[in-house]
Amino acid sequence: MIDNIYLHPLTLVSGPQTVDGDAVRLGGSMAYAREFALVLRRDGAVAERIVTTASGMDAAIARLPEGAGREAARQWANLRKAQAPLQLGQRTIRLDQPQVMGILNVTPDSFSDGGTNLDPQVGRDAAAAMIEAGAAIIDIGGESTRPGAMATFEDEEIRRVVPAVEYCAAMGAAISVDTRRAGVLDAALAAGAHMVNDVSALRYDPRSIEQVAASGCPVVLMHAPGAGEDLHAGGNYADVVSDVFDFLKLARERAIVAGVAEERILLDPGIGFGKSLGENLALINALPLFHALGSPLLLGVSRKRMIGALSSEENVDARLAGSIALAVKGMEAGVHLLRVHDVAETVQARNVWRGLRDAALTDFRQLPPL
């Protein structure tokens, strides 16, 4: 028999004082949870489900079989772990509030901008506007990974990415490169990039994992079912939430064994990659669970197909409202980085959300009397 444990935060609250202190802060974020479910899956089926508050967690863990208990204790510690800031060049990106990562696609077949950013001046202006609007990081991608996209050769991806890295570096931006190829990463780091966002979780190019370990750059490991050219292939799940959690857990462990520093790893559940609408919704509703893996979380849902599917098949350029709704859902779950196309609007939503959360955390009227 194979036992797997999953520690799901269930009830999110605006602050611990609303529940007499019986809540925990998720991943050092501005999200708090009071009730939790310890779900024991045995050979792929739910064998036991224990619901408890934070104050009862130790007793609940003690009820589990020994191996599952050790893993549950590890996940409980991970849920309460404050994530260290990212140091990207001269910029320090604190992860104690949601941060916005702006998307700069430099591909001819980008679904969001139609390839206009391939013009260096257009791309430079777009990057400058995102930085001015409050983007903490610019994520530069030279390969389209949408379903059915044409394959991109490594040298062509380098030709697209490097000039964008150079002009963003000249602005003093914190720069991520969205690539799964070691040669592109090497060229981007040399041009001034600081981190890598790998949609294959360092599986596509066997050189990448050693390169990330040697360079010491932070890395985002994303879930996608396909390991080869088609990242969307093979999306067959027994339980999508548990399966993605297990995948990211193994990807994280594999990177650490290869020499990638634990504090340099970020995780992304890969919304839209080889997943149905229902599976995407299940993952978004279960986002708080992924804090149990012990790494900062990135969420990329901006303008994605699922928004159109839920809103009369709206075109890509008419999905702002849905993108903001999903971004706020991510903030409520304690996601640390939001990867978006519409930076100014998302930053405004983040600032309003943070104002509400700050007010809730400092509302001493909710404290019990002495």
Q: Which amino acids are annotated catalytic?
A: 304, 339
Q: Which residues of 254-279 are buried (b: 16+ CB within 10 A; e: fewer)?
A: ebeeeebeeebbbbbbbbbbbbeeeb
**Who's near 340: CB < 8 A, 6+ residues apart?**
100, 101, 102, 103, 302, 323, 327, 346
Residue in this structure with the two tokens 């139609």, named with its chain if needed: 114
Partner residues linked to 260 by β-bridges: none
Do residues 198 and 211 touch, judged by C-beta distance below 8 A?
no
| Alpha-carbon distances of 292 from 108, 205, 326, rounded to whole Å | 38, 28, 21
Dump the DSSP string for 7-48: EEEEEEES-GGGGTT--EESTTSS-EEEEEEEEEEETTEEEE
- Is the alpha carbon torsion for 350, 104, 93, 332 positive or negative? positive
Cβ atoms within 10 Å of 369's Cβ, excluding its own: 3
Q: For residue 96, what is the DSSP state?
A: S
> Which has the closest alpha carbon to 75: 249, 201, 220, 329?
249
Alpha-carbon distance of 286 to 283, in angstroms, equals: 5
- Residue 366 burial (CB < 10 Å; 0-12/13-18/19+)? middle
Number of H helices, E strands in the chain: 11, 14
Q: For residue 66, what is the DSSP state?
A: H
Alpha-carbon distance of 71 to 130, in angstroms, equals: 41
Do residues 182 and 207 touch, judged by C-beta distance below 8 A?
yes
